[in-house]
Amino acid sequence: MSQARPADVPADVHPAEITPLMEAQVRTAVTIPLRFSDGYTAPARVLTFTGLVDGAEHLLLAFGDAVNADGEVTPGADVLIRMHSECLTGDVFGSERCDCGPQLREAAERLNDAGGLLLYLRQEGRGIGLYAKLDAYALQDAGLDTYDANTALGHGEDERDYTAAAQMLRAVGVDGIRLLTNNPDKAAQLTALGIDVVDVVRTGVHVTASNARYLQAKRDRTGHLLELPAA
């Protein structure tokens, strides 16, 4: 089911075409102590928002020195940012068909150490949704790669739009960032939306027997910055 759009956004306008950015506001801020499956713990200040252009329930998690003693999110200059797209199968169930779960765990520790922000974006399956992602898995089992499987279902290779992410960053006073990613499209979109990406910091490469073909497709098809072991 598609997400609702704010009433003042015309239905025929794609979020990426809306400039300047519409203002979003922090709705709720609450501290949640996180504990990952390997025992790693870190407190996060979790923010929700109103006014996001896509109407989705995205979250911002602030770690370490990005939160002051009063619980206010106070990111420093060129703060380290991770934009993580929701992946129920990887983040929750530990699926090894992707690298999402390990990337989320890695990001939490690196952001906690550096004092950074995690944007947890409700963009399952590169924006096509959970059921469609599982349909795409079935096509991958039949031989298609992750991108061709999406297009075979009538979707784009990657339908994610990061306008809401830029709104969230602006809502907490962020302009310049160091972006934790291997995906060049994230940096390109944020730059086009007026966020100064001063550096791209690569994440680790989390290869398993089940995701090696998936990671190779990301490297070869969309230029992800991945150094993979020889087959």
Report, as residue numbers or ranges, the catalytic residues: 158, 160
Edge-to-edge strand ranges of the sheet holding 196-201 = 25-35, 41-50, 59-62, 117-121, 79-85, 176-180, 196-201
Tokens standing for 68?
């002051």
Dist. CA 168–CA 162, nearest whole Å: 10
